[in-house]
Amino acid sequence: ELLEDATGKKLILVDHNEKEQRVNGKYEILEIIDHHKFDFSYPVPIFILNKPLGSTSTIIAEMFFEKNFEIPREIAGLLISGILSDTVIFKSPTTTERDKEIANKLNKIVGLELIKYGKEMKKKGANIEGLSIRDLIFRDFKEYNFNGKKVGIGQLELIETEEFLEKKNEIIEEMKKIKEDGFDSIIFAVTDIMKEGSTLFCVGENELVGKAFGVDFSSGYSYLQGIMSRKKQIVPPLEKIFS
């Protein structure tokens, strides 16, 4: 259930300390547990735990283990799912050894084949049947302002991308339409989890964006082996080239 207004409630902010991501209303913040960069201000002392790990689920599991709290099988399964999802089945560059360690420790309670389960989960999560290309570009889409340039970057994570990539022309056509809403460039990363790379589409300043990644975007797209994280691998080179 999505909370539209939290007025009067007491909240624990999990995985989102930044103001822009918070729910509307006047509410009390009791605690924060997160693994992101930090941007937070509050007038009274509260409990905060932030760790540079791959998933907030890893931190929550650590808290259970530290307190010797018995973790119900269902909760352990949810925490494993959180870790596998956030770390893209341990393949995202944000993954740490601690995330793997904790997922395996949790799995002593659940008994899954972790990688197989992760793939099934991602497949279900990435269910793209019945969705338009526009929906998929916007499924995980963020707007950036690089030195005055408005750039939209969408990412779609799939277990395998071959079938989807047959529609390259339709994807580029749709991106052109989106660009018309005032963007200088639209970038769309179709990430192949198993291959550990992304096909990057670009509509707009293809030459400059190509330079950022050292590839040729004259056809509108290029495959980049090893590129999986928008935050860590796609945004920083763009910030640099647009500065």
Q: Which residues bind its own copies (CB under 8 A)?
A: 35-52, 66
Rounded CA separation 61/106 (Å) = 8
34 versus 192: smaller Cβ distance to its own copies: 34
Query: Per DSSP, what are the bridge partners of residue 18?
Result: none
Rounded CA separation 192/78 (Å) = 24
1 versus 20: smaller Cβ distance to its own copies: 20
Q: Minimum distance from CB of 67 to its own copies (Å)?
A: 9
Q: Minimum distance from CB of 134 to its own copies (Å)?
A: 32
Q: Minimum distance from CB of 34 to its own copies (Å)?
A: 8
46 versus 75: smaller Cβ distance to its own copies: 46
Q: 141: closest CA among 179, 86, 87?
A: 179
Which tokens belong to 151? Answer: 């750039």
Which tokens belong to 47? Answer: 């409990």
How is 201-213 classified by DSSP, letter by letter? EEESSHHHHHHHH
Q: Minimum distance from CB of 53 to its own copies (Å)?
A: 8
Q: Minimum distance from CB of 94 to its own copies (Å)?
A: 9
Distances, alpha carbon 169 to alpha carbons 19, 121, 206, 219, in Å? 38, 29, 16, 10
119 versus 231: smaller Cβ distance to its own copies: 231
Q: Minimum distance from CB of 200 to its own copies (Å)?
A: 24
39 versus 166: smaller Cβ distance to its own copies: 39
Q: In sequence order, what are the residues at sequence separation of 6 or more whose Cβ sits closer than 8 angstroms to the Cβ of residue 103?
A: 58, 80, 83, 84, 90, 114
54 versus 77: smaller Cβ distance to its own copies: 54
Neighbours of 153 (CB within 10 A): 21
Amino acid present at 155 = Q
